[in-house]
Amino acid sequence: MSGHGTPIPMRSAKCGPLTGQAKVPGDKSISHRALIFGALAVGETRITGLLEGEDVLDTAKALRAMGAEITRDADGRAWSVHGVGVGGLCEPDDVINCGNSGTGVRLLMGLVATYPFAVTFTGDASLRKRPMGRVSDPVALFGARAVGRSGGRLPLTLVGAEMPVPVDYVTPVPSAQVKSAVLLAGLNAPGKTIVREREATRDHTERMLAGFGAEITVEDTPEGRCITLTGQPELRPQAVAVPRDPSSAAFPVCAAILVPGSDITVPGVSQNPTRNGLFTTLVEMGADIVFDNPREEGGEPVADLRVRYSPDLKGVDVPPARAASMIDEYPVLSVVAANAAGTTTMRGVKELRVKESDRIDAMAVGLRACGVSVDEDHDTMIVHGLGQGNVPGGAVCASHLDHRIAMAFLVLGMSAQAPVHVDDGSPIATSFPDFEPLMAGLGALVTRESE
Ligand code: S3P
């Protein structure tokens, strides 16, 4: 688990063109959910393309502790989950440590909230700072009780409901984790659980629940999306093909846009409309991205991306309505914005303050140290672009136990005038374990300071 090991100082530097194929890892959101729904189906679920990052492996460990049998095939090509059925989980006999993963802990909190037992959750120093009230509040409506540290933070013990009742809940923040936690709790409650969200957030839980055979409907209403789930279904095991993660693809894609002469392909990247806001924004900025061979894989729309160096980027206003569809991509977008001509304004982004780090603050401090002017308020980040190749760089940037902050600054260093250093690249293993060899394979200069 990240945050428990030795920090890994890293740096990146200007390099020749990036070329070749970037096979980025499986989608993190879908990987967590594939394991969870597999653990609730009766029979064997087979998963290909699972992200083998620390976050997902921590979720697998938690599900094993509650009775699911989860194994990786000897040849490493697929994972197998033998589920226990909805209602069949057992009380874990030790603390569940979710490491760095907000998705892991919040989904699991929802999952166990309607079981008549207690689970204590903890995580690394980053996760222990993050708000959990957004899940313990709605699961209390089912009859669960949570006792955590001040501010509802981890470590936290959740005592599940003995006699759960279904709920009708409006999510107060645009969060797929909260929506999914409520739906997961609703799985083991009798009757219909309803979740309403004003802004659509990633919909993998809804898609996968339907695929596993649950009765679930999604309705677009004038007030937003309304999801209705009928509790206590018998979930049927599935063959899940996890598409490649658009949030991980973001790093080689943005690097190729910024490094002169680059021309790369990134195959099989999810183009789910609740996830593709970054690509829309990059194209608006003038990035040269072609979406080849659009198709459906594993119930998700995917495409092969061809990305070329894009010399004439311009700053844009990113509308708040797009925030949910690119929430994890703002750090690397701010790096592209630093290389654009003119100002890029990102509004409606306050959720970034409660991610693995305060991502507005982390990026603003590091970008300023690298010579880029940045303005911010609670809900907004404004980057004053210097034009392609004009970022001075040369600073040590802090990753704050946040994989996406570490990778964003390493992308900055690939196009900056002087190398960019990152104090600790170890969190990259949570979501993109092969980041270094993959980027090196394209021709990037990303190294550990010890090398
Ligand atoms: C995720 C939802 C998002 C995202 C996270 C993964 C998910 O968090 O930032 O990386 O898999 O549901 P929020 O739901 O808190 O916005």
pLDDT at 326: 98
Q: Is the domain of 257 the same as that of 236? A: no
| Position 187 in a domain | yes
Query: Which of 33, 103, 108, 130 most suits a substitution to test ligand 1, by most atoms within 8 Å of the C-beta?
Result: 103
What is the CA(222)–ligand 1 centre distance, in A? 24
The helix/strand/coil state of 38 is helix
Burial category of 23 from C-beta neighbours within 10 Å (exposed 0-12, middle 13-18, buried 19 and up): middle
Q: Is the domain of 17 the same as that of 46? A: no
pTM for this predicted structure: 0.97
Q: Report the atom number in ligand 1 closest to the C-alpha of 180.
A: 12
Q: Is the domain of 301 the same as that of 403? A: yes
CATH number at residue 374: 3.65.10.10
CA distance 318 to 341: 15
Q: Is the domain of 313 the same as that of 227? A: no
Q: Catalytic site residue 328?
A: yes
Q: Is the domain of 33 the same as that of 22? A: no
| Position 375 in a domain | yes
| Position 5 in a domain | no
Q: Is the domain of 14 the same as that of 61? A: no
Q: What is the pLDDT of residues 3-25, one digit of tens each?
A: 457 999 999 999 999 999 999 99
Contacts 24+ apart (CB under 8 A), 208-212: 208/30, 208/33, 208/34, 208/37, 208/240, 208/299, 209/37, 209/183, 211/238, 211/240, 211/299, 212/37, 212/40, 212/41, 212/236, 212/237, 212/238
| Position 174 in a domain | yes
Q: Supply 116's token pair.
A: 């008549």
pLDDT at 2: 45
What is the CA(360)–ligand 1 centre distance, in A? 16
Q: Is the domain of 49 the same as that of 18? A: no
Name the active-site residue from 58, 203, 328, 424: 328
What is the CA(353)–ligand 1 centre distance, in A? 13
Q: Does residue 344's CB lie within 6 angstroms of at least one atom of ligand 1? A: no
Give the CA distances from residue 208 to residues 78, 169, 282, in Å, rounded to whole numbers and listed in that order: 18, 20, 29
Query: Which of 106, 202, 209, 245 most suits a substitution to test ligand 1, by most atoms within 8 Å of the C-beta?
Result: 202
Q: Does residue 351's CB lie within 6 angstroms of at least one atom of ligand 1? A: yes
CA distance 237 to 228: 21
Q: Is the domain of 420 the same as that of 303? A: yes
Q: Is the domain of 252 the same as that of 125? A: no
What is the CA(125)–ligand 1 centre distance, in A? 18
The conformation of residue 128, written as its DSSP 8-state character, comes to: G
Q: Does residue 177's CB lie within 6 angstroms of at least one atom of ligand 1? A: yes
pLDDT at 5: 74
176-187 and 204-211 helices, crossing angle to 10°: 30
CA distance 222 to 216: 20
Q: Is the domain of 53 the same as that of 105? A: yes
Q: What is the pLDDT of residues 101-156, one digit of tens each?
A: 999 999 999 999 999 999 999 999 999 999 999 999 999 999 999 999 998 999 99
CA distance 108 to 81: 16
pLDDT at 450: 87
Q: Does residue 134's CB lie within 6 angstroms of at least one atom of ligand 1? A: no
Measuring from atom 13 of ligand 1, which residue has the nearest CA?
175
Q: Is the domain of 146 the same as that of 263? A: no
CA distance 50 to 294: 21
Q: Does residue 106's CB lie within 6 angstroms of at least one atom of ligand 1? A: no
Give the domain range for residue 316: 10-26+243-448
Residue 44, H or E segment: strand 42-48
Domain boundary, last residue among 190, 222, 241: 241
Domain boundary, last residue among 222, 241, 260: 241
Q: If you search the block for the tokens 């940037």, which residue do you land on?
A: 397
| Position 44 in a domain | yes
pLDDT at 3: 47
Encode the chain (451 residues) as per-residue pLDDT tens digits.
444 579 999 999 999 999 999 999 999 999 999 999 999 999 999 999 999 999 999 999 999 999 999 999 999 999 999 999 999 999 999 999 999 999 999 999 999 999 999 999 999 999 999 999 999 999 999 999 999 999 899 999 999 999 999 999 999 999 999 999 999 999 999 999 999 999 999 999 999 999 999 999 999 999 999 999 999 999 999 999 999 999 999 999 999 999 999 999 999 999 999 999 999 999 999 999 999 999 998 788 999 999 999 999 999 999 999 999 999 999 999 999 999 999 999 999 999 999 999 999 999 999 999 999 999 999 999 999 999 999 999 999 999 999 999 999 999 999 999 999 999 999 999 999 999 999 999 999 999 998 8
What is the CA(390)–ligand 1 centre distance, in A? 33
Q: Report the atom number in ligand 1 closest to the C-alpha of 327.
A: 9
pLDDT at 4: 53
pLDDT at 27: 97
Q: How many domains does the chain fold into?
A: 2
Q: Report the atom number in ligand 1 closest to the C-alpha of 205.
A: 12
Domain boundary, last residue among 217, 241, 265: 241
Q: Are residues 88 and 63 in contact, defined by beta-carbon separation less than 8 angstroms?
A: no
Q: Is the domain of 200 the same as that of 184? A: yes
CA distance 446 to 439: 7
Q: What is the pLDDT of residues 226-254, one digit of tens each?
A: 999 999 999 999 999 999 999 999 999 99
Q: Are residues 123 and 97 in contact, defined by beta-carbon separation less than 8 angstroms?
A: yes
Q: Report the atom number in ligand 1 closest to the C-alpha of 29.
A: 11
CA distance 96 to 64: 11
